[in-house]
């Protein structure tokens, strides 16, 4: 910035920089803007967000415009950084679940499962997880995949002006959150999946409720599809928008529906199954358009695949334990859902306080100190609704993680904004970002 001169009007200034004259169009400076010398390059940089309804949370987009065409697009993130990875280094392995569930807040079950699978791998107890616990995990994850996709479709529709799609999406999601509330006591951030299994068995009546909900969802999920799939306006807003081909996806590390929209059937549930996914019958949905419309279709069809898996889970549920038998890992607490959420069952407290001192000591040690995990590192990935959710865990042999790192798919996929948006119209940026479906809680952690 050579010499800064302020041509003052009362409200706005324009000044010279090394990049040319800068106008801060904040009002009453139209004369100076119009007076720009002939041939001077017009370069408008627009800040979209972080507080903007169509950026899917606190995402800041910095767009350079030529008229209505985006010439450069960059993302600014970090507005929701909460230091979850650092915090987990000061909590026990089990307490970590409470943190990870809050990262990608639309897919808490996936965060929890990925984290717990990684711990179990490091402990070497993957084979000892009870069958029932794995089935419940899969069922919770698939219900969660539906609720996440429904929000993606709902907000994506809303951002392009299809408000009815939003109403439908949130209406259906509510049904799934009711199940979560019944099972874990909480609609979100439930910390339900724990190292060694799940925190408690399904309450009485849960299976029937899930069956009813699945039947209802089977009827209803098509409402959004019927509204949009052949809708001329929707097609005009999404077809050939936000194009990203396979090469682009691979270079940028993009996974999930965006990758499958290029025609590559990559799904970790099929290629590297965990939690017994190899036992379920479902299809990997792909599209070959590599655009916003293709990703939209994939999410719609994945709803149906998830419904199929949930139905199979219900059929596979056999009575049995839901927590590992190893008393050094599985919490002894008999939890139950009370009026104010999940907590210790009063019967269990009565028993350990009144009759069994050893049980009390064991409970106290395991809950306050936690279990030790052998030193080493593992990487565990699950297929979250947004792509590969990876956990890199490092243990120093202690009762706390030494380092936890989450490779959140939203974080990586957001890098594709520039590739998808540059050269497009500014209105299509909204469509492209909606199709990436970033969740800033996961991006920033």
Partner 1 sequence: MSELAVPTEGRPTLDVVEVRRGAFGVHGSGDTSGFGGLVRPVALPVAAERPFGAVFDVIADEVEAGLTARDGAFSDSVERVLVAHEELTFVVRREHLLTFMSVLRDEPGLRFELCLGVTGIHWPGDLGAEFHAVYPLLSITHNRRVRVQTSCPAADIHLPSIVSVYPTNDWHEREAYDFFGIIFDGHPSLTRIEMPDDWLGHPQRKDYPLGGIPVEYKGATVPPADERRSYS
What residue has token string 């408008």? 44
83 binds partner 1, rule: CB under 8 A: yes
Of 162 and 366, the one with the shorter C-beta distance to partner 1 is 366
State the minimum distance, in angstroms, from the CB of residue 72 to partner 1. Answer: 13
Of 79 and 170, the one with the shorter C-beta distance to partner 1 is 79
Which of 275, 411, 429, 440 is in the footprint of partner 1 by CB under 8 A? 411
252 binds partner 1, rule: CB under 8 A: yes
Of 169 and 401, the one with the shorter C-beta distance to partner 1 is 401
Residues 111-170 that bind partner 1 (CB under 8 A): 121-122, 124
328 binds partner 1, rule: CB under 8 A: no
The residue range among 330-338, 346-354, 387-395, 421-429 that interacts with partner 1, by the rule CB under 8 A, is: 387-395
392 binds partner 1, rule: CB under 8 A: yes
444 binds partner 1, rule: CB under 8 A: yes
State the minimum distance, in angstroms, from the CB of residue 396 to partner 1. Answer: 5
388 binds partner 1, rule: CB under 8 A: yes
Of 81 and 239, the one with the shorter C-beta distance to partner 1 is 81
The residue range among 147-155, 168-176, 218-226, 410-418 that interacts with partner 1, by the rule CB under 8 A, is: 410-418
The residue range among 128-136, 142-150, 180-188, 390-398 that interacts with partner 1, by the rule CB under 8 A, is: 390-398
Give dist(CA 306, CA 276) in Å, integer: 15
Of 24 and 271, the one with the shorter C-beta distance to partner 1 is 271
Number of residues that bind partner 1 (CB under 8 A): 51
> What phi-psi label fits residue 64: left (phi over 0), alpha (psi between -120 and 50 degrees) or beta?
beta
414 binds partner 1, rule: CB under 8 A: yes
Which of 345, 403, 425, 426 is in the footprint of partner 1 by CB under 8 A? 403
Which of 26, 90, 127, 319 is in the footprint of partner 1 by CB under 8 A? 90
269 binds partner 1, rule: CB under 8 A: no
271 binds partner 1, rule: CB under 8 A: yes
Which of 43, 52, 60, 91 is in the footprint of partner 1 by CB under 8 A? 91
Binding residues for partner 1, rule: CB under 8 A, are: 77-78, 81, 83, 85-87, 89-91, 121-122, 124, 250-255, 264, 266, 271-272, 368-370, 375-379, 381, 388, 390, 392, 394, 396-400, 402-403, 405, 407, 411-412, 414-415, 444-445
């Amino acid at each position: 910035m050579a010499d800064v001169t302020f041509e003052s009007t009362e409200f706005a200034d324009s000044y010279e920089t090394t990049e040319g004259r800068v106008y801060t169009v904040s009002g009453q400076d139209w004369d100076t803007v119009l007076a720009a010398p002939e041939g001077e390059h017009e370069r408008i940089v627009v800040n979209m967000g972080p507080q903007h309804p169509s950026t899917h949370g606190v995402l800041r987009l910095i767009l350079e415009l030529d008229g209505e065409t985006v010439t450069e697009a960059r993302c600014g993130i970090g507005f929701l950084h909460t230091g979850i990875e650092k915090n987990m280094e000061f909590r026990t392995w089990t307490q970590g679940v409470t943190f990870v569930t809050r990262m990608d807040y639309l897919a808490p079950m996936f965060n929890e499962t990925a984290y717990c699978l990684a711990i179990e791998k490091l402990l070497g107890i993957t084979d000892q997880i009870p069958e029932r616990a794995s089935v419940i995990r899969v069922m919770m994850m698939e219900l969660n995949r539906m609720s996440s996709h429904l929000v993606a479709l709902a907000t994506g529709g809303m951002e392009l002006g299809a408000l009815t799609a939003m109403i439908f999406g949130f209406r259906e999601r509510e049904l799934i959150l009711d199940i979560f509330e019944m099972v874990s006591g909480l609609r979100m951030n439930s910390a339900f999946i724990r190292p060694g299994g799940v925190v408690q068995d399904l309450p009485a009546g849960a299976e029937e409720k899930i069956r009813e909900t699945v039947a209802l969802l089977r009827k209803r999920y098509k409402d959004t599809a019927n509204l949009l799939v052949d809708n001329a306006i929707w097609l005009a807003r999404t077809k050939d928008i936000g194009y990203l081909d396979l090469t682009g996806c691979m270079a940028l590390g993009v996974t999930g529906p965006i990758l499958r929209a290029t025609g590559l059937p990559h799904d970790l549930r099929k290629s590297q199954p965990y939690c017994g996914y190899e036992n379920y019958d479902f299809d990997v949905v792909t599209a070959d358009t590599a655009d916003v419309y293709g990703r939209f279709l994939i999410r719609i069809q994945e709803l149906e695949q998830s419904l199929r898996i949930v139905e199979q889970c219900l059929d596979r549920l056999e009575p049995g334990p839901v927590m590992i038998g190893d008393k050094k890992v599985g919490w002894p607490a008999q939890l139950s859902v009370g009026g104010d959420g999940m907590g210790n069952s009063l019967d269990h407290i009565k028993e350990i306080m009144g009759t069994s001192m050893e049980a009390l000591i064991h409970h106290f040690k395991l809950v306050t100190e936690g279990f030790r995990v052998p030193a080493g590192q593992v990487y565990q990935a699950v297929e979250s609704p947004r792509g590969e959710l990876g956990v890199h865990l490092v243990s120093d042999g202690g009762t706390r993680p030494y380092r936890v790192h989450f490779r959140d798919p939203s974080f990586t996929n957001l890098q594709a904004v520039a590739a998808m948006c540059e050269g497009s119209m500014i209105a299509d940026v909204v469509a492209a970002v909606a199709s990436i479906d970033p969740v800033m809680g996961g991006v920033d952690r």
